[in-house]
DNA sequence: TATCATAGGTTAAACGTTTAAGGTAATGTT
DNA sequence: AACATTACCTTAAACGTTTAACCTATGATA
């Protein structure tokens, strides 16, 4: 058992050199002769000194190799969402390659102040549920990269959600259609409900808003009207919310013959429920999704959706952060025609 | 724009009190009069001092509120596994409740030395792929809680994997059966293959070893022999590895009529493929899983498996860490009889 | 009235490093 | 031979806090 943890000072004393030299041996090889360096390193190993204390380094150097990933919602929810977890996957592999550590941060937290002093930067995936965080991130002294939404003057990674939504809606819609939209985080309600005249929440650059805009533009072009009582709000993309919304939509009258869903999870639950009710998809009801998750390829009929690479978004976000990129990046997406329209 | 970040010293000077007093105003309300405290706090807010620098606190206090979650494999893989992500979910909610932060740490990392100085403790989910980490954790100066395996003298959270495996195997097996086992991380190979005579890897307390023991005990009791060439190794529980292994098993001859799988993901891929090949489950082939994931309830026939609550494991692990528990905890499991045996 | 707690501060020494700025001897330059 | 460089170390001042130890009125106690 060690008596007490060795410090740089102890080691310096024992080896009869200055603390600076020990420090340099570990951090700046060019500052001392190779012979001395090797000698020091081997001595350190021998006496059980495993290198400079990281906590002290964080304070002194002002850098920790920790990157905070600010998730839109609670960690608990985000980690179980296939799209989000694929994103996390991308982020983590890019970070690991550079020896950076990943701190998961919930978007419903009170404030980023409890970590801002020691993290090296923030990757922000989706507009945090707590709007205050956005304001704090906007003035953060540490670098910030946003994904799936924007903050002025901060780099971001996005796809053109408006265009993607427009395209998928355009290929699904025809004049005379009766349309419903299953949207995400549109209004301020903790449960699934119709939007009606509730004010829309969140930043204008959020994916929900952009997608809604795209849907509406396509609808206008095709001359179909979508009233706000045909737009549903889901607080998140979980299966239980999705099932609830699906049920409401399927039992609403008149039953829509086109349903535009803002995520594949939502679309898939709707699809399953519709099929169970004996509704013919796409003859009686067309369904579109969003994201292009793996599961959407395995269903019969295959879901028509918009594919984007969440893993790639993660990688790009990490790289943007680590390389101090300043631009806002637009990633490609791809319409995947399945058999649900 | 701020000129330069305010420090405690600056604030103390501006308010004409000592740094200790400012510090106490934030950390130890009992050390100064309530009037002064409120005065200080409101002044701080006014001049834009948001509280003591966390990096400095980490060094000085020796605690950071950061807990490292050491995953068995790479973060990228773990986050996409439904069982692991449910566990993470449990951990994160328990931590968030206590204001702790979650650092994801990959089990295939070189060493924990780069974080041990600043984290408050380790939750270790599954035996890390890199064995060196286990040794380091065993002598870590920071608290450690292991899950799904054990380290001497460290608290742990487990289910009785041996017994669970024994039970599920017992209910599936009958004398004369031809049995195959689809196991996880049994030998040192990066790809799916039969075990044959390769030496088993990893700690004896790992879930794989315990489950294998349980299977074998049941087999012995039922008088069925399982040779090592009927045991497959999968490097991880991913779907692609599972499909590959499923294919090998289904085309092996003689084709087994019972397949014991060490995870539901593996079992489900096998089930799908078997059904596609026109094999009758359970008449021609019985299949058992492990874990009790949600997806396993939705398949037809429903999978026979062992249910455990990964979320609960996460919560318990976090609590054990935060409360300095010392004991090794055994959580309950439940046999879920589906229609695959 | 002399004595003793106590409340509400202050002082200064840590916490364990990094890194400018200096110093010195050896090497290179003219 | 005088001078400029360079290579290699050391000194000491940060980094921004926390906290034990100490101080000083003020009110309570005997």
DSSP one-letter string for B66-80: EEEEEESS-HHHHHH
Mutate to test the interface with B, among A44, A45, A50, A55 (most CBs of B within 10 A): A55
Q: How far apart are CA A63 and CA A55, in angstroms?
A: 10
Is residue A115 over pLDDT 50? yes
Q: How far apart are CA B68 and CA B121, in angstroms?
A: 6
Shortest alpha-carbon distance between residue B32 and chain A (Å): 24
Cβ contact, residue pair A103, B102, below 8 Å:
yes
Token pair listed for A194: 């119709």
Residues in chain A: 341
Q: How far apart are CA A122 and CA A144, in angstroms?
A: 5
Is residue A181 over pLDDT 60? yes
DSSP helix/strand/coil, A161: helix
Percent of chain A at pLDDT above 70? Answer: 99
Cβ contact, residue pair A88, B66, below 8 Å:
no
Q: Residue B41 gets which letter from DSSP?
A: H
Q: How far apart are CA B259 and CA A213, in angstroms?
A: 51
DSSP helix/strand/coil, A13: helix
Is residue B1 over pLDDT 90? no
Is residue A313 over pLDDT 60? yes
3-state DSSP percent of chain A in helix, strand and coil, to 5: 45, 15, 40
Is residue A107 over pLDDT 80? yes
Is residue B243 over pLDDT 50? yes
Task: Please identify which residue in the block is written with the tokens 């293959």.
Answer: B193
What are phi and psi for residue B80, nearest 5 degrees? Answer: -95, -5
Cβ contact, residue pair A89, B76, below 8 Å:
yes
Is residue A1 over pLDDT 60? no
**pLDDT by residue (tens digit) across A138-147?**
999 999 999 9
The pLDDT score that the predictor gives to residue A240 is: 92
The beta-carbon neighbor of A76 closest among B55, B66, B92 is: B92
Q: Report the 10 Å Cβ neighbour count for A80.
A: 19
pLDDT-derived band at A2, boundaries 50, 70, 90: very low
Average of pLDDT values for A219-226? 96
Q: Residue A17 gets which letter from DSSP?
A: S
Closest CA to A335 of A299, A286, A292, A293: A292
DSSP helix/strand/coil, B280: coil
**pLDDT by residue (tens digit) across B186-203?**
999 999 999 999 999 989
Cα distances (angstroms) measured from residue B42 to each of A211, A271, B11: 43, 55, 12
DSSP helix/strand/coil, B335: strand
DSSP helix/strand/coil, B200: coil
Average of pLDDT values for A194-211? 92
For chain B, the average pLDDT equals 96
**pLDDT by residue (tens digit) across B26-55?**
999 999 999 999 999 999 999 999 999 999
pLDDT-derived band at B5, boundaries 50, 70, 90: confident
Average of pLDDT values for A286-294? 97
What are phi and psi for residue B261, nearest 5 degrees? Answer: -110, 140
Q: Which domains does chain B have, with CATH numbers?
A: 8-52 (1.10.260.40), 66-158 (3.40.50.2300), 161-308+332-336 (3.40.50.2300)
Percent of chain A at pLDDT above 90? Answer: 96
The beta-carbon neighbor of A58 closest among B2, B58, B103 is: B58
The pLDDT score that the predictor gives to residue A3 is: 54
Q: How far apart are CA B166 and CA B168, in angstroms?
A: 6
Contacts of B242 in chain A (CB under 8 A): none
Average of pLDDT values for A313-317? 98
Cα distances (angstroms) measured from residue A34 to each of A11, A15, A20, A38, B19: 18, 16, 15, 6, 44
Token pair listed for B36: 């002064």
Report the distance from CA of residue B324 to the C1' of nucleotide C16 in Å, as an integer: 26
DSSP helix/strand/coil, B176: coil
CB of A282 closer than 8 Å to CB of A276: no
Q: How far apart are CA B179 and CA B282, in angstroms?
A: 13
Q: Report the 10 Å Cβ neighbour count for B306.
A: 23
Q: Is A75 on the interface with B (CB under 8 A)?
A: yes
**pLDDT by residue (tens digit) across B257-293?**
999 999 999 999 999 999 999 999 999 999 999 999 9
Is residue A55 over pLDDT 60? yes
């Amino acid at each position: 058992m060690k008596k007490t943890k060795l410090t740089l000072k102890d080691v310096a004393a024992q080896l009869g050199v200055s603390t600076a030299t020990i420090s340099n041996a570990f951090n700046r090889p060019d500052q001392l002769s190779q012979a001395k360096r090797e000698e020091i390193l081997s001595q350190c190993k021998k006496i059980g000194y495993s290198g400079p204390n990281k906590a002290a380094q964080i304070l002194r150097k002002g850098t920790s190799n920790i990157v905070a990933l600010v998730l839109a919602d609670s960690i608990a929810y985000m980690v179980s969402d296939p799209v989000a977890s694929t994103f996390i996957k991308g982020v983590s592999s890019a970070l690991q390659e550079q020896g950076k550590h990943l701190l998961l941060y919930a978007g419903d937290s009170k404030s980023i102040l409890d970590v801002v002093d020691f993290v090296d930067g923030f990757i922000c995936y989706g507009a945090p549920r707590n709007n205050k965080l956005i304001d704090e991130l906007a003035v953060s002294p540490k670098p910030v990269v946003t994904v799936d939404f924007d903050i002025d003057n901060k780099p971001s990674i996005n796809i053109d959600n408006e265009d993607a939504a427009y395209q998928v809606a355009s290929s699904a819609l025809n004049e005379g259609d009766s349309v419903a939209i299953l949207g995400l985080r549109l209004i301020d309600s903790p449960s699934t409900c119709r939007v009606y005249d509730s004010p829309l929440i969140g930043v204008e650059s959020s994916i929900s808003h952009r997608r809604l805009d795209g849907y509406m533009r396509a609808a206008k072009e095709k001359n179909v009207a979508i009233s706000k009582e045909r737009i549903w709000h889901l607080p998140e993309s979980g299966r239980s919310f999705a099932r609830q919304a699906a049920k409401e939509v399927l039992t609403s009258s008149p039953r829509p013959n086109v349903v535009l869903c803002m995520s594949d999870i939502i679309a898939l639950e709707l699809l399953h429920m519709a099929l169970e009710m004996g509704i013919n998809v796409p003859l009686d009801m067309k369904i579109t999704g969003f994201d292009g998750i793996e599961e959407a390829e395995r269903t019969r009929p295959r879901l028509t959706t918009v594919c984007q690479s969440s893993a790639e978004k993660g990688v790009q976000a990490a790289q943007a952060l680590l390389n101090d990129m300043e631009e806002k990046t637009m990633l490609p997406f791809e319409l995947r025609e399945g058999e649900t329209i």
